[in-house]
Structure 1
Amino acid sequence: MNSINEKEKKLHLALEELKNLDLTNPDLKNNIENLNMQKNQLEIEKNELEKKYKELSDQNEILSKRLDEFRSKEKVEERKQIEFSEKIDELNQETDTLLEEIDKWQM
């Protein structure tokens, strides 16, 4: 019986030591805290980058529209210039024809 009592006492002592045992590892706790801080910082940076991306995307859309407008205006101007050149050619031809007619009448 004595050995059973001793074993029971040892078991109770072991249980008490296990209850009092601090299972938290300070390095692990510090690492978790550091990781949480880094995660929070990365989330802040991610939000800032998403905001900047949206702003840049909006600016890109505005600039693309403006570029399209400029290209459209440029095409209109090119057409006008071509039409103007064609009219000048027509006038030159008419002038040549008139000059030929004048030459014929003068002869």
Structure 2
Amino acid sequence: MSSLPYPNDDFSTPERLDEASWWRFLESEVEATKNAYRAKPSLILRDFNAEKATSQDYAERELLELVQNAADAATEAGGNGKVRIEIRKNGLIVANTGQPVFVR
């Protein structure tokens, strides 16, 4: 089973977790977000407005942004990188050879 990057508690270096542990982490993050919204419902509107603004900022240039992110990741990894873009029936896959992604 492959492992996925995951930050340690101080977010300084990624640890490696198996898929089940990664899902447990994501589920706990979703539950924490729900609890925050229950405690302070105004956060829902704030977050909605932030997402709306971000989507408008990236409108019609999403693919360009993903390729630029890949180029940045390759630079951080110390060299040239490659990008793979696949269009499938159920979605778009964009992968690169830069630094692995982890939550900060």
Bin the TM-score by the shorter chain.
under 0.3
Q: Select the structure that is richer in helix.
A: 1
Q: Select the structure that is richer in strand.
A: 2
Larger RCO, structure (CA 8 Å, separation 6 or more): 2
Scaled by the length of structure 2, the TM-score of the pair is 0.25
Instruction: Mark the structure with the bigger radius of gyration.
Output: 1
